[in-house]
């Protein structure tokens, strides 16, 4: 499913936990504040394989899909 035509919203700083890995053409799942959301990579540079249980930063939202980035220590600075 293409989500490129849906407007992007930038949420406040949110941290989530991967529940299902993101595949090349399939969205994954991320749990944020007790709710499970669809997840896709925010940018092609972030397309390293995130594993179930990995912490991620929510970078943006398109419709019902959070766009995620690998969590780095810089998030807390």
Question: In the chain, what are the domains?
Answer: 8-76 (2.40.50.140)
Q: What is the pLDDT of residue 10?
A: 57
Q: Is the pLDDT of residue 7 over 90?
A: no
pTM, to two decimals: 0.75
pLDDT at 71 (0 to 100): 82
Residue-wise pLDDT for 16-67, tens only, equals 999 999 987 889 999 999 999 999 998 766 566 788 999 999 988 999 999 9
β 55-62/35-41 pair status = unpaired
State the pLDDT at residue 66: 94
- Are 52 and 21 within 8 A, CB to CB? yes
């Amino acid at each position: 499913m293409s989500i490129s035509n849906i407007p992007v919203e930038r949420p406040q700083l949110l941290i989530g936990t991967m529940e299902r890995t993101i595949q090349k053409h399939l969205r994954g799942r991320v749990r944020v504040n007790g709710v499970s959301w669809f997840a896709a990579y925010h940018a092609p540079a972030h397309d390293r394989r995130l594993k179930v249980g990995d912490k991620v930063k929510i970078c943006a939202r398109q419709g019902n899909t959070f766009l995620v980035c690998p969590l780095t220590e810089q998030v807390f600075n």
